[in-house]
Structure 1
Amino acid sequence: MGTWDIGPFENDTAADFANDLDDAAEGERGTLIRRVLMHTAGNRDYLEAPDAEEAVAAAALIAAQCPGGEPVSPHYGPDEPVPSLPTDLSRLAVEALDRVLADESELSELWGEAEDGRRWRDSIRQMRQVLDPTPQTHGGVLFEV
């Protein structure tokens, strides 16, 4: 089926990631989420779509635990509860989302060609804002991401 909507768990790769989380012991779920985010945030080569899709799903799980965060889809997200995640994962999730949106990202390229590409980008930016609500500065100019 591939991708059926813009949500973080509305693609096959993210749904498989949710299954991996369900299969993991409760104490290992946070480690699995951290590993996915570190892999994406640290990628300096071309970022393949499956890696980016997992990172978006992992970031959504963290954002769901933040004030203003959207709950994860009960249909495609993990069935098992995600334990309370360490606050340092928010910063790592922001780095991973920035990498997903950056150049040399297959997922960003694919959504750039799609009819709903703008909605997808807006949803990623909104998730990023939940994870890091502080205004950003660029060249001395204050703006919100």
Structure 2
Amino acid sequence: MGTWDIGHFDNDTAADFGGTLDDAPPGKREALLRDALTAVTGTGPGEYLDGDEAAVAVAAAALIAAQCPGGKPVTTPYGPDEPLPPLAPELRALAVSALDRVVGAESELPELWADAGADGLWAAGITELREVLARAAG
């Protein structure tokens, strides 16, 4: 995975996901977000989570959080250019579960950030994202 910064879309995989969302018909974008999250939450507790799947789930969670109270808009040029429709509220809890899986022991992404020496900064960004989503999910 090519990564150039700490942001949720600052890697090749997440940037490609932003393009995929732009290419999808507006009515299919929510399903793409849901699929990205369920790809992560659907793995078993002992299964190793690939870094690319985790990066897409983080990007999806960031887009969902952007529609929550206190959420930050996704303004990076690597995210989708096309606006997302209002998203179903139940995606918030699914995004929380996905983020919990992404930071878990059987996930490649925390290892990659630790190897780069930026795991603290990355984890802080994930924690902030999770808090916004958890508050909005109730």
Which TM-score band (shorter chain)?
over 0.9
- Alpha-carbon separation, structure 1, partners of 2:135 and 2:89: 14
Alignment partner, residue 52 of structure 1? 54
Equivalent of 1:62 in 61, 64, 70: 64
Equivalent of 1:119 in 96, 102, 121: 121
Q: Which residue type is aligned with residue 63 of structure 1?
A: A
* Aligned residue pairs, count: 134
Moved more, 108-117 or 97-106: 108-117
TM-score, normalization by structure 2: 0.93
Q: Retained in 1: the 8 A contact 2:9–2:76?
A: no
Q: Say which SS state the counterpart of residue 46 (structure 1) adopts.
A: coil
Q: Retained in 1: the 8 A contact 2:49–2:107?
A: yes
Alignment partner, residue 140 of structure 1? none
Q: Which has a greater percent of strand?
A: 1
Moved more, 12-21 or 109-118: 109-118
TM-score, normalization by structure 1: 0.89
1:41 paired with 2:41, answer yes
1:86 paired with 2:88, answer yes
Moved more, 25-34 or 35-44: 35-44
- Alpha-carbon separation, structure 1, partners of 2:41 and 2:6: 21
Q: Which has a greater percent of helix?
A: 2
Deviations along 1:57-109, one digit per CA (max 9) or x if unpaired, are 00000000001111113311101111110000000000000000001101111
Q: Show structure 1 runs of 5+ residues with no match.
A: 135-145
- Alpha-carbon separation, structure 2, partners of 1:85 and 1:106: 28
Q: Percent identity?
A: 56
Return the offset for 1:117.
Answer: 1.2
Q: Retained in 2: the 8 A contact 1:3–1:11?
A: yes
Point out 4+ residue stretches in structure 1 off by more than 3 angstroms. Answer: none
